[in-house]
Amino acid sequence: MCGLIWFTSSRHVAKRLSAFVVFALLLFSSNSFAQLKTETKKELPDLTTRIWLGSHLLPGYGQIYNRDYWKVPVFYTGMGLMAYQGYQMNSSYKSWQKTYLALSSDDPDRENYKIKAKEYKQKRNLYYAAATAFYLASVSDAVLVYNKGKHSPAAATILSTLVPGMGQAYNGTYWKIPVIYGGLSTFYFMFDWNNRGYNRFKTAVLYLVDDDPNTVDEFNGERTEEELRYYMDSYRRNRDLSALGFAAVYILNILDANVDAHLYDWNVDDNLSFRVEPKVFNPNLSYAYSPPAFGISCRVTF
């Protein structure tokens, strides 16, 4: 009888122990799986740079990765049509330019050919610019769609690299866009103006040192070679400085977008403050041994 009771008790204990072991294993497995899932989620790499590079090398790569397949023919159609039209305008420009150069200087139609060639050149540049815009739009779209639902510093940096000010628009700091384009436009105007002045005086120097008496510069020989070279060097130096200024604004635009994106989720609550104000210490005049003192109080609230 005692042996039967012991056997029954042992069987119950074994069942309870087995149930406890199974429960512990299930609990451990579920916790391990949840932890593994969390770690896997945390360790997912940011592929923004990869998508950017892939879209640069092969337009449409980002759209395929993001499963926006319908956008691929749209971008390729736009780029193809604009590039083809630009090629056609370039062929017409070369034809009119060749005819213009072949005409004599006293031909009455020579100026008309020059104007026509200039028109085709402008149209060619516009079509090529439109093809480039489709290309940049495909890259920007791939980066934005991939980072949809999160704010990525890499995306802000890439967007400002592609188009100045786009990273600021992505960060929501729209007021910086006119500042950026104001700086870029100013330096571009300075570069163009100094470059035109440099070319004027460079041409005058070439005419002056030419031995042909029929070639006269625009100053009719009234300026010496030293004067012409002085102004030519001055314009060239200012042109180079303007180019450096343009590059500096462009780089600052990229850095600003990157820093703003990193601080996008920064806590700027009113409870976070650092206040410095004047203060009177021990204002109670009843204590003769401890007169009031004036000083500065620094208070940090967080």
* Residue 204 lies inside a defined structural domain of this protein: no
Residue 57 lies in a domain: yes
Count of Cβ atoms closer than 10 Å to residue 175 Cβ: 8
Average of per-residue pLDDT across 173-195:
95
CA angle 93, 96, 97 (to 5 degrees): 80
Question: Residue 113: inside a domain, yes or no?
Answer: yes
Surface-to-core class of residue 49, CB atoms within 10 Å of its CB (0-12 exposed, 13-18 middle, 19+ buried): middle
Question: Do the beta carbons of residue 85 and residue 127 sit within 8 Å?
Answer: yes
| Euclidean distance between CA atoms 97 and 112, whole angstroms | 11
With respect to residue 59, please indicate whether it lies within any of the assigned structural domains: yes
Which spans in the chain are helix H? 2-42, 48-57, 61-65, 71-102, 110-146, 153-162, 166-171, 176-209, 225-262
Per-residue model confidence as pLDDT tens digits over 135-175: 999 999 999 999 988 888 999 999 999 999 999 999 999 99
pLDDT tens-digit readout, 5-64: 433 444 444 445 454 444 444 443 444 334 434 444 455 678 888 999 999 899 999 999
Q: Is 12 a member of any domain? A: no
Inside any domain, residue 50: yes
pLDDT at 123: 94
Residue 60 lies in a domain: yes
pLDDT value at residue 110 = 84
- Amino acid 138: pLDDT: 94
Contact 82, 131 (CB under 8 A): yes
Q: What is the pLDDT of residues 232-250, one digit of tens each?
A: 999 999 999 999 999 999 9
C-beta separation of 66 from 147 below 8 A:
no
Task: Count structural domains, the chain.
Answer: 1
Averaged confidence pLDDT in the chain: 80
Q: What is the span of the domain harbouring residue 69? A: 46-150
